[in-house]
Structure 1
Amino acid sequence: MNDKVIFRIITAISIFVFAVVLILQSRVISLFPPGSEIPSWVFFLPRLNAIINATCSILLVASLIQIRSRNIKTHKILNIITFVLSSLFLVSYIIFHATGIQTTYGGAGAVRYIYYFILITHIILAAVVLPLVLLSFYSGLRMNVARHRRLVRWSFPVWLYVTVTGVLVYLMISPYYTF
């Protein structure tokens, strides 16, 4: 496959994932019909997502340390593990939000503004990070080092920000869960 085909595939995947998340946020689709009981394991998913995000944050920093030490093999392995975990996060996130469960932040004062700033920037950058990561992976796996470095200058800090703020959002909203 050439770069043009890969770029189209990455664009299609990114648009599809973004559309699915938007649909779920609008509560148009629910995995469970109204009035049906949601399985108890679903309520663990937000905590699982925070654990996955925290793990991804640690792995991303470890990956940076490895590449700076010129340990390319370990760098690749750490990034692949992080990508797999982020993919599992996405599946877990979609399952949780497809249940129709709504969560509302209950904080007040300045903390409320801080929470919404973190949440909004997290959401925007989460939408941007997927194509950046996919393009970075493609370049890295093809050993197109110059292109990989250019992309990673953007994808790494954005991906790290999204994983860290995902944990912060969970920690800030979890006291207000009503389930």
Structure 2
Amino acid sequence: MGNTKTDKIAIPIIIALSILIPIVVIILMYLPERYNIFGTQSGTFPFFHAVLNGSTALLLTIGYFFMSIKEYKWHRNVMIMAFVLSSVFLVSYVISKISNEPVPYGGEGVLRYIYFFILITHIILSAIIVPLVLFTMYRGLSVQYTKHAKIARWTFPIWLYVSVTGVLVYVFMWPYY
């Protein structure tokens, strides 16, 4: 049974964050002026983001493995680490959007179509994954395991896809940084 007292607080917060985060990212992408807070070169953030995304994908896979063998304490801890890395990514991504101009993709031919397919699906699913992850984490940590399992069936593959495609976007873009 759901924890209705906690739900009345957590669910509106999750919904608000799920709306605010994509809006803030979109606004930052269209800033008229950049403020390179840390004085970084344009390729610094993308490499860091690829490492975070790759590490998150690895942790998600390990977390799934622990769940499949019913090592729930390990599952929880590994998934919390994946959430922390994704949160660090999000903060770093926002800082990178404030700091550096977008770099255009310079590839041609079939690679261009593949890149844009990966990029567009990555961006769309990145917005969708925010509420899924927040609800999944909340349901698991508030011991609502039935609801956690139902939403995690959707969250896991989408989160894994977003993490892996984040690395692929970096690989495609690497020559242009």
Under TM normalisation by the shorter chain, which class is it? over 0.9
Residue 29 of structure 1 deviates from its aligned partner by 5.7
Indicate yes or no: 2:15 matched with 1:11.
Answer: yes
String of CA shifts for 1:42-79, please: whole Å, max 9, x gaps.
64111000001000000000000000110000000001
Q: Does structure 2 retain, via aligned residues, the 8 Å contact 1:23–1:29?
A: no
Q: Which segments of 5 or more consecutive residues in structure 2 lack a partner in the other structure?
A: none
State the Cα RMSD in Å: 1.6
Give unpaired runs (5+ residues) of structure 1.
none
SS at match of 1:102: coil
Measure, in 1, the Cα distance between the counterparts of 2:18 and 2:156.
Answer: 17
> What's the offset of the Cα at 1:38?
6.5
Deviations 1:64-110 (A, max 9, x none): 00001100000000011110110000111111111242211001011
Aligned pair 1:47/2:54, yes or no?
Answer: no
The percentage of counterpart residues that share the same residue type is 43
DSSP-derived class of the 1:54 partner: helix
Residue in 2 that maps onto 1:2: 6
CA change 1:142–1:29 in 2 (3 A) is farther
- Report 1:121-136 matches (<5 A): 121-136=121-136
Separation of aligned partners in 1, 2:126 and 2:33: 21
Decide which moves more: 112-121 or 37-46: 37-46
- Whether the 8 Å contact between 1:49 and 1:89 is mirrored in structure 2 is yes
Output the amino acid matched with 1:11: I
Shift of 1:133: 0.5
CA contact (8 A) 1:14 1:131 kept: yes
Normalised to the residue count of structure 1, the TM-score between the two structures is 0.91
- Cα deviation for residue 2 of structure 1 reads 2.9
The residue that corresponds to 2:97 in the other structure is 97
What residue in structure 1 maps to residue 28 of structure 2? 24
Contact 1:103 1:176 in 2 (8 A): yes
Partner residue, 2:76? 76
Alpha-carbon deviations, 1:110-167, whole Å to 9, x = none?
Answer: 1100000000000000000010001001111122111011100111111000000000
Give 2:86's aligned residue.
Answer: 86
Counterparts of 1:156 and 1:147, CA distance in 2: 14
Paired residue type of 1:2: T
The alpha-carbon distance between structure 1 residues 2 and 22, as it changes in their structure 2 partners (threshold 3 A), is same
> Residue 42 of structure 2 contacts residue 100 of structure 2 at CA under 8 Å; is this kept in 1?
no
Q: Read off the aligned partner of 1:26 and give its amino acid letter.
A: Y
1:60 and 1:160 in contact (8 A); partners too:
yes
Query: What secondary structure does 1:46 align onto?
Result: helix
Cα-to-partner distance string for 1:19-43 (whole Å, 9 max, x where unaligned): 11000111246334xxxx9613664
What SS class does the counterpart of residue 70 from structure 1 fall into?
A: coil
Structure 2 equivalent of residue 110 of structure 1: 110
SS of alignment partner, residue 92 of structure 1:
helix
